[in-house]
Amino acid sequence: MANPNKAVALMGLVEAKLLEFFDPDPVPPVVPPLGGGTTTVWHLSGDVIAPPPWVIGEDGTCETCDGCGPYLWMRLAQRWRQGQSQNMTASAAVIPKCGQARGVTIEVGIARCHPLDGDPEVYQNKGLVLLDDSWRLDLALCAALKEAERLDIAKETGVGTGSPEGPEGMVLTWAQSAYAQF
């Protein structure tokens, strides 16, 4: 019997598309990610995304980070019901009935080593890698949501804005959310 939890099916579609768009060795004419790809998507929980130590080189610099690769992750960020306030303060709480349509927010992101000091050429390259990463995350989310609608897993979908964080601790991340109503 198939899992009746549509969030599980949606997460599987998102993971498959992330792996497709971040494939380190794609079939030509597809171009590999500018900063290198990965074959692993990490499933996270909680509200703090802390990349593991291997994102940075063993000596704590990006220069020795050969093979560190990107840290590509996803998490179920929210479950909600249609009409529910996203800002659940006591004065603004809207509590929908259980019969309301359900939905989820899925957050995806990527983290890479980013030097705190470097020459302008290094910063230029890191900026281009981030631009490529942000484009790939957006494409992967849109492709997964279109597939979810085609397969009747989700009815209403959308992709939120993406934004960078860092480079605290020499790690720069890009994260973006997708929304799906079942």
Tell me the C-alpha distance between 14 and 70, whole Å.
17
Listed residue (96, 99, 131, 126) closest to 113, CA to CA = 126
178 beta partners: 106, 159
Tokens 């995350």: give the residue: 137
Tell me the C-alpha distance between 59 and 36, whole Å.
21
Q: pLDDT at position 116, please?
A: 73
**Structure-block tokens of residue 78:** 């929210």
Rg (CA), the chain: 18
112 beta partners: 172
Q: pLDDT at position 166, please?
A: 81
Q: pLDDT at position 63, please?
A: 66
- Please give the chain's pLDDT, 182 residues, in tens: 456 789 999 999 999 999 999 999 999 888 999 999 999 999 988 777 776 766 666 666 666 665 567 899 999 998 877 665 555 555 555 666 666 678 899 999 999 888 777 788 878 888 899 999 999 999 999 999 999 999 999 999 999 999 998 877 778 889 999 999 99
Q: pLDDT at position 61, please?
A: 67
Q: State the pairing for strand pair 71-81/42-44.
A: parallel
